[in-house]
Chain A
Amino acid sequence: MIATAQTPELERVTARARELLRQGCDGVLGLRKRWGHVGPCVFTREDELETLVLEPRYPVATVLRQILEAARGSKLGVVARGCDVRAIKELVIHNLSLPVGERAIGPYSFVAIPVTCGAEQAAECNCEKPVYELTRCTGCWECVEACPEDALKVRSACPIVLPNEFDRGLASRRAIYCPYPQAVPRWHVRDAEHCLALSGKMECKGCANICKAEAVMPEDAPREEDIDVGAVVLAPGFEEFMSRLEYDYGFSRYPDVVSSMEFERILSASGPCAGHVRRPSDGEEPRKIAFLQCVGSRDIACRNRYCSSVCCMYAIKEAVIAKEHCRDLDVTVFFMDIRAFGKEFDRYYERAKTEYGVRFARARVSDVNAADGRLRVRYSPAEGSVAADDFDMVVLSSGLEPPARIRQLVRTLGVRVEANGFVWTDPARPLETSRRGVYVAGAASGPKDIPETVTQASAAAGRAGQLLAGARHTLTKEPEFPPERDVSGEEPRIGVFVCHCGINIGGVVDVPAVAVHVRGLPYVAHTEDNLYTCSQDTQDHIRDMIAKHRLNRVVVASCSPRTHEPLFQETLRRAGLNPHLFEMANIRDQCSWIHMHQPEEATLKARCLVHMAVAKVAMVEPLAAALLDVTPSALVVGGGLAGMTAALATAGQGYKVTLVERRRRLGGNLDRVRYTFDEPDVRAYRDRLIAQVRGHPGIAVLTGTELDNVEGFVGSFESTLKTGARRTKVAHGALILATGGSESRPDEYRCMDDSRVVTQLELETMLAGKSSSAGARAPRSVVMIQCVGSREEGHMYCSRVCCSTAVKNALRIRETWPEAQVYVLYRDMRTYGFSEDHYQAARDRGVLFVGYEPEARPVVTNGRGLKVTVREPLLQRELVLRPDLVVLSARIDPSPDNARLAQMVKVPLTQDGFFLEAHAKLRPVEFATEGVFVAGLAHGPKNMAETIAQAEAAAAKACTIISKDKYRAEATIAALNEELCDGCGICVPVCEYNALEVIDRPGGKEGEKIVRLNEAMCKGCGGCVAACPSGAMEQKGFKNEQMLAMIRAALAE
């Protein structure tokens, strides 16, 4: 009927179709009418077009798919009207989303011939003009939910299906999507490149039509905004190396050859396989997996000479997790060197071998090919030999590369990049780019792992903080709230707001019925249901209702308190109520969404959940977070590189610093390191640093001084310092531990009394300042032995810097004594990151690297001449060397003082004696004890650039505390009923934060005890409450009576 009403339209479409056929289209897909029936047809001849009709809503999509499959690569014209649009959408889908396992996404070749609909048709198709803004998106997900006109089984309002980048293409997403399930806010975004409307391919309003919050902006477009800033921090991250090798280990040919990132998603509980290890080709559980290391790293063929630093560890982690998923899984890691150089990494590596049975094979893989339905990996385990093994899956441990977008970014900002395209930094200033005021953090300046990235992020923020110290707080706007109404003495008057969340809750749960049901509960003064309780309008409305009904408690039944509690709490504050007079019932995420097909049960459950919230909220009380005084200064313990850097960074932000050094002079290990690749004269660098510290008006330096005692807590510590016999007190808001470490004196090779056996630092002193000479005293042969005292029982850690140091000194020897032959006996060369270049340079310059196994360590004997015997594992041959000099790469030891300090400050140590941070990955410079930070060798072995970054990070973290006037403690913390407490102290060891201690009861009898709770240190876990045998301990906001009321309500419904 429409077709006949739009004859001019039909004429236009036919003309366009004809034109396309003339231009070389293989055909035009449309509908034709024959024998009274309308059906799909590919018109290939112009004369056929006479039968073309425009009939809306005909399901041609499946036909299109078949056509396209049969005639791949053909170019088609497609007649597409507004409401018949799914046909073309399906076509696009077909081209963009290939089944898992098919990676190649070819360009799709079709030309749309748009058909305009009349107003009548538009109305019928629900094409009303929508309005909208992103900030109104409530994350209700309706826009990606089922299409009401499900004729074609298009399951979403958005017809476009794309590979989900977050799942590395192993799952799909729509063109309107939430980038990953954990995103907060859970806003949906539109992919401008693929969205039919935004990319201008054709009109589509699928998402806009379905969004009840009118949040979809059909005419959204990129726009430019000017923002005035004082500093810029670059953190664009890295990109995974995607094989561009001619030889790519089958990555582009076999679906079961996956990259490490893909495998990471396969393992993830929230990933496309829900945590079940499945191979992409057939979804079967693999029985045998191979990891190939150094794909896209340490490889000149792919132009990446550097080591990506993180692949060894993530491969070990993925191997272990895979083994945890399937116990019988056989995992082999093919590697050159295992570079487990980070803190506690070697222990993990050892466990992977011994506990989990992951097999590590030192071998170079030559290729991967399909063989009998499996993947055959060919490799050479030893010189000249070739072996092969079959696997179900191959994981490529792909390296890190600078992101492609970085090129444009650095051009715009005018900052330098280094040879590989990473942002250039000076190792002495690892956060600074070549342009003042522009800082960089993370993998953008070179491969690094999570702890280092997080450290750098804090440090970069600190650098920006130093630059902008003068402007601090000048642009801060404090939100203003009306004074809090005193509700004490009032009978509870509860307002209950039940949310439909569009159809998310309302489509399953009978929301009005829930609202009616709770009206009968005690103290409920007002109930209502809202389409979107979280919308801005409803917030204003809730405020009005609080005033109108004199509500003093509020319950919102909607989604999760984890995402939405702060929003509603702010509404309460705006209404003059304490934000803790509030409770949420999670009837969406934990009810309607998980019981979608049981509306009656879901309604009963929602009723019960709201009842529980009402029961609790009736008993809650206003809570206030304690505001505690802050002393705006820091104490730094340790006057080495880390301590001095931290002191300068803190003082640079404008705060007073006391720097304490046990020795007579500042400098620490900088006294012994003489040169690095980047700093030819470390002593000069040290002297400049000392001069800066000494010359800074904000830093008080106390040498020959020890930390004797620490009292107090975050924001207000008081420490006792001991200089000789004199004790002084200093008040400070934060404490930074930078107590350093030192090169150990090895006793393994019992010849340390022989002057021909030295450590790397001793060698450095010998070499420093020496010019090239071939004098009589020059050694002709030098043997370096790596891992002396490291990576062995009792010291199961890598000292991290020794491989690079050995390479550095080997190169220096080749310069100083060109005649000298240098051998480096190693277990794994761990020249990570850009140090790999130096390792390669050393090999190029004739330094010989000889591997050894820990079971067959080199033997040094010192008779008349030195003799070193080592068993070379590749050739399985004994090698006898007769050097003039043996250099031991000795372990780095933590400061022996750490144990005393740890006890004093109540922070933990690792079993190796280094300080143990609060979280290895996410809180690398903090402790569970707030206000105390760690940097440098005190935390673990690291090089100078890493030490500087960590010291800057510790300082930045310290400044987040001392820059505030008041420290805000948690509100829902423990509370002690002093009358009930008998000081038994059972709660004390339960507290992880040292917030509890047993003291003499003030004013009590002799021997009478009581527990003292430090509110500033309590984090509000409530562990002590459950432990208290006398019911003296309570948790504010989670009181026993409140929780029991909830439990009773839950079981009463």
Chain B
Amino acid sequence: MTEEFRPRILVFCCNWCSYAGADLAGIGRYQIDPHFRVVRTMCSARVDPEWIMEAFRLGADGVMVAGCHPGDCHYIGGNYRTRRRIALLRSLLSQFGLDPERLHLEWISAGEAEKFASSVNGFIRRVGALGPSPYRETAARTDGVAAEEAAHA
């Protein structure tokens, strides 16, 4: 890993637990590595496997999905489905030449600011050690296309 490598990481957070935990990390002024972007969904079960694959296709170096702790899902049992989906996706990643470690699932409650900070920092560190995603180059080529598409949408 070189000093210049700035990982690009997406963190999907459910509205009720982990996004609130992320907010609380801010309120507590936990200092976190800035190389991640949070996408909010209502429930972690909304995180479509397609999104995750699209993120990797576009050169994301890592994707983290965060939901309520088992038993605490705002929508009763959404996080159990998330757990199964992520397990399945992880088993698929290596077929695409991606280390399964690039996809990570974490349970973070609304009160766990410290856990949000430490798990994001830890994930970024681990992804940093893995180095850039092999899809980065191809993504850079398609990026131009995507931007063009966006401009014409």
Complex: A33 Cα to B153 Cα, angstroms: 76
Q: Enumerate chain A residues within 8 angstroms of B42, measured Cβ to Cβ.
A: 972, 1020-1022, 1035, 1038
Complex: A590 Cα to B22 Cα, angstroms: 7
**Which residue, A182, A597, A1051, has most C-beta atoms of chain B within 10 A?**
A1051
Assess whether B5 is interfacial by the CB under 8 Å rule: no
Contact B39 A1050 (CB under 8 A): yes
B92 CB to closest chain A CB, in angstroms? 15
Query: Beyond A269-B114, A1051-B8, is A1025–B150 a contact (Cβ under 8 Å)?
Result: no
Contact bitstring B1-42, A, C-beta under 8 A = 1, else 0:
000000010100001000110111111111110110111111
Assess whether A122 is interfacial by the CB under 8 Å rule: no
Query: Beyond A590-B22, A1026-B85, is A992–B150 a contact (Cβ under 8 Å)?
Result: no
Contact B150 A1021 (CB under 8 A): no
A1051 CB to closest chain B CB, in angstroms? 4
Query: Beyond A269-B114, A589-B23, A598-B34, is A1022–B43 a contact (Cβ under 8 Å)?
Result: yes
Within 8 A of B (CB), among A134-188: 181-182
B32: contacting residue among A595, A618, A1040, CB under 8 A: A595
Assess whether A275 is interfacial by the CB under 8 Å rule: yes
Interface stretch among A48-56, A360-368, A1006-1014, A1041-1049? A1041-1049
Q: Enumerate chain B residues within 8 angstroms of A990, measured Cβ to Cβ.
A: 45, 81
Within 8 A of A (CB), among B50-87: 50-51, 54-55, 58-60, 74-78, 81, 85
B60: contacting residue among A1027, A1038, A1051, CB under 8 A: A1051
Interface stretch among A21-29, A74-82, A607-615? A607-615
Q: Enumerate chain A residues within 8 angstroms of B76, measured Cβ to Cβ.
A: 918, 928, 992
Assess whether A560 is interfacial by the CB under 8 Å rule: yes
Contact A594 B30 (CB under 8 A): yes
Complex: A591 Cα to B34 Cα, angstroms: 8
Contact A596 B29 (CB under 8 A): yes
B31: contacting residue among A181, A560, A595, CB under 8 A: A595
Contact B81 A1023 (CB under 8 A): yes
Contact A1022 B45 (CB under 8 A): yes
Complex: A928 Cα to B150 Cα, angstroms: 41
A504 CB to closest chain B CB, in angstroms? 10
Contact B46 A595 (CB under 8 A): no
Q: Enumerate chain A residues within 8 angstroms of B43, measured Cβ to Cβ.
A: 1021-1023
Contact A1051 B58 (CB under 8 A): yes
Assess whether B127 is interfacial by the CB under 8 Å rule: no
Within 8 A of B (CB), among A977-1022: 990, 992, 1019-1022
Q: Enumerate chain A residues within 8 angstroms of B58, measured Cβ to Cβ.
A: 1047-1048, 1051-1052
A451 CB to closest chain B CB, in angstroms? 16
CB nearest neighbor in B for A972:
B42
Assess whether B103 is interfacial by the CB under 8 Å rule: no
CB nearest neighbor in A for B19:
A562
Assess whether B134 is interfacial by the CB under 8 Å rule: no
Assess whether A602 is interfacial by the CB under 8 Å rule: yes
**Which residue, A588, A597, A992, has most C-beta atoms of chain B within 10 A?**
A992
Contact B46 A1038 (CB under 8 A): yes
Contact A562 B20 (CB under 8 A): yes
Assess whether A335 is interfacial by the CB under 8 Å rule: no
Complex: A1046 Cα to B47 Cα, angstroms: 13
B8 CB to closest chain A CB, in angstroms? 6
**Which residue, B15, B59, B81, has most C-beta atoms of chain A within 10 A?**
B81
Contact A1051 B59 (CB under 8 A): yes
Assess whether A896 is interfacial by the CB under 8 Å rule: no
Contact B48 A1025 (CB under 8 A): yes
Assess whether A708 is interfacial by the CB under 8 Å rule: no
Tell me the count of chain A residues lying within 8 A, CB to CB, of chain B.
Answer: 57
CB nearest neighbor in A for B52:
A1047
Q: Enumerate chain B residues within 8 angstroms of A992, measured Cβ to Cβ.
A: 75-78
Contact B54 A609 (CB under 8 A): no
B84 CB to closest chain A CB, in angstroms? 10
Assess whether B143 is interfacial by the CB under 8 Å rule: yes
Q: Enumerate chain B residues within 8 angstroms of A593, measured Cβ to Cβ.
A: 26-27, 29
Contact B8 A1043 (CB under 8 A): no
A612: contacting residue among B15, B19, B27, B37, CB under 8 A: B37
CB nearest neighbor in B for A605:
B34
Q: Enumerate chain B residues within 8 angstroms of A615, measured Cβ to Cβ.
A: 150
Complex: A249 Cα to B52 Cα, angstroms: 56
Assess whether A586 is interfacial by the CB under 8 Å rule: yes
CB nearest neighbor in B for A1035:
B46
CB nearest neighbor in B for A991:
B75
Q: Enumerate chain B residues within 8 angstroms of A1026, measured Cβ to Cβ.
A: 45-49, 81, 85
**Which residue, A268, A586, A594, A605, has most C-beta atoms of chain B within 10 A?**
A594
Complex: A562 Cα to B21 Cα, angstroms: 11
Contact B27 A589 (CB under 8 A): yes
Complex: A1025 Cα to B42 Cα, angstroms: 12
Tell me the count of chain B residues lying within 8 A, CB to CB, of chain A.
Answer: 59
CB nearest neighbor in B for A563:
B23
Assess whether B139 is interfacial by the CB under 8 Å rule: yes
Contact B112 A594 (CB under 8 A): no
Complex: A650 Cα to B19 Cα, angstroms: 39
Contact A269 B46 (CB under 8 A): no
A975 CB to closest chain B CB, in angstroms? 13
A974 CB to closest chain B CB, in angstroms? 10
Complex: A1043 Cα to B48 Cα, angstroms: 10
Complex: A595 Cα to B19 Cα, angstroms: 17
Complex: A133 Cα to B133 Cα, angstroms: 52
Contact B26 A590 (CB under 8 A): yes
Assess whether A833 is interfacial by the CB under 8 Å rule: no
A167 CB to closest chain B CB, in angstroms? 13
CB nearest neighbor in A for B56:
A1051
Complex: A602 Cα to B32 Cα, angstroms: 11
Complex: A275 Cα to B117 Cα, angstroms: 13
Assess whether B124 is interfacial by the CB under 8 Å rule: no
Contact B109 A1050 (CB under 8 A): no
B61 CB to closest chain A CB, in angstroms? 10
Assess whether A601 is interfacial by the CB under 8 Å rule: yes
Assess whether B110 is interfacial by the CB under 8 Å rule: yes
A562: contacting residue among B15, B55, B153, CB under 8 A: B15
Assess whether B129 is interfacial by the CB under 8 Å rule: no
Contact B10 A522 (CB under 8 A): no
CB nearest neighbor in A for B74:
A1021
**Which residue, A586, A598, A1040, A1050, has most C-beta atoms of chain B within 10 A?**
A1050
Complex: A1022 Cα to B39 Cα, angstroms: 15
Query: Beyond A562-B20, A590-B26, A1022-B41, is A1047–B55 a contact (Cβ under 8 Å)?
Result: yes
Assess whether A561 is interfacial by the CB under 8 Å rule: yes
B149 CB to closest chain A CB, in angstroms? 9
**Which residue, B41, B42, B78, has most C-beta atoms of chain A within 10 A?**
B42
A1026 CB to closest chain B CB, in angstroms? 4
Contact A1046 B113 (CB under 8 A): no
Contact A522 B153 (CB under 8 A): yes
Q: Enumerate chain A residues within 8 angstroms of B20, measured Cβ to Cβ.
A: 562
Complex: A590 Cα to B28 Cα, angstroms: 11
Query: Beyond A269-B114, A1050-B37, is A1023–B51 a contact (Cβ under 8 Å)?
Result: no
Q: List 22 A-B contacts (CB under 8 A).
A: A181-B28, A182-B110, A269-B112, A274-B113, A560-B26, A562-B20, A589-B23, A589-B27, A590-B25, A594-B26, A594-B117, A596-B31, A598-B34, A972-B42, A990-B45, A1021-B74, A1022-B46, A1023-B78, A1026-B48, A1038-B41, A1047-B39, A1050-B10
Question: What 9 pairs across the A-B complex have the smallest Cβ distances?
Answer: A1022-B46, A589-B26, A1023-B45, A1021-B75, A593-B26, A1021-B43, A992-B76, A601-B34, A274-B114
Known: A1026-B49, A1043-B39. 18 other contacts (CB 8 A): A182-B24, A270-B24, A274-B114, A275-B114, A522-B151, A586-B23, A602-B34, A918-B76, A992-B76, A1021-B42, A1022-B43, A1023-B75, A1026-B47, A1040-B48, A1040-B50, A1047-B58, A1048-B54, A1052-B147
Residues of A within 8 A of B (CB): 181-182, 268-270, 274-275, 522, 560-563, 586, 588-591, 593-598, 601-602, 604-605, 608-609, 612, 615, 618, 918, 928, 972, 990, 992, 1019-1023, 1025-1027, 1035, 1038, 1040, 1043-1048, 1050-1052
